Amino acid sequence: MTYETVSDSERAYFDTSMWTAILLHNVSQADLGFVYDKFRELKRGTFHVYASDMVLMECSWAIRRRIAERKESASMSPDDLQREIDAKVAQFYEQIVQAQNAGMITVENPTDSLDHFLQRSHDLSRRPQKRTLHYREKRKQYQYIGAGFLDFQHAIIAARLGCSRVYTLDRGFNIFSSIPEFRTLTIITPQYRIPENGAKF
């Protein structure tokens, strides 16, 4: 499989799923291969990632929740589990700082007022979304796969920060290609494949 590449000066955006996958390895091998490829491209300077405080806060919350909800966490003492969670969140922020110091990542917040930002996210997320109901034959049930409120916030931030590509494992982001406000964004999600030899970052 080949992945799209971008110019050295292009701004890119990683949503929460990319950050948590690289830290927790809590996704399929196919998705993990995509994540590793993109982080390797980041380290080579293929693009520059922009993030915001909202992304960092959501990542911290997602890391805490996903570690706490693992099956193996049920057999741990509360103190041991809390130490593991705190260590993983600290590791995440340390890696962000190291990436900033290496010139790979910029943490910057959109200049829009908070009220406008939240109102715009609300306006977009309340609109009906087409082709979001998916029927799963195996379980004989419908699954809603549309974009959520936080997804719209990610897209707004990426557009406001001048990013041209959004890398995500969430296929719900594909709806943004049909919204005029996000016509400058190209949403990149993985194609399914198993990485050769369990490629590592």
What pLDDT is attached to residue 147? 60
Query: In the numeric block, which tokens belong to residue 174?
Result: 């594909």
pLDDT score at 126: 59
Query: What does the pLDDT read at residue 135?
Result: 62
Structure tokens at 36: 């590793």
- Predicted pLDDT of residue 120: 66
d(C-alpha 26, C-alpha 21), whole Å: 6
pLDDT of residue 3: 41
Please tell me whether the overall predicted TM-score, pTM, comes out greater than 0.85 for this model.
no
What are the tens digits of pLDDT across the range 114-163? 666 666 666 666 565 566 565 667 777 776 665 665 777 888 889 888 99
Q: Give me the DSSP letters along 99-119.
A: HHHTTSEEE---SS-HHHHHH
Domains of the chain and any CATH numbers:
11-198 (3.40.50.1010)
Task: List, for the chain, all residue ranges whose pLDDT scores fall below the cut of 70.
Answer: 1-9, 112-136, 143-149, 191-201
What is the spatial distance between Cα 142 and Cα 135, in angstroms, rounded to a whole number? 4
Is there a contact between 20 and 175 (Cβ–Cβ < 8 Å)?
no
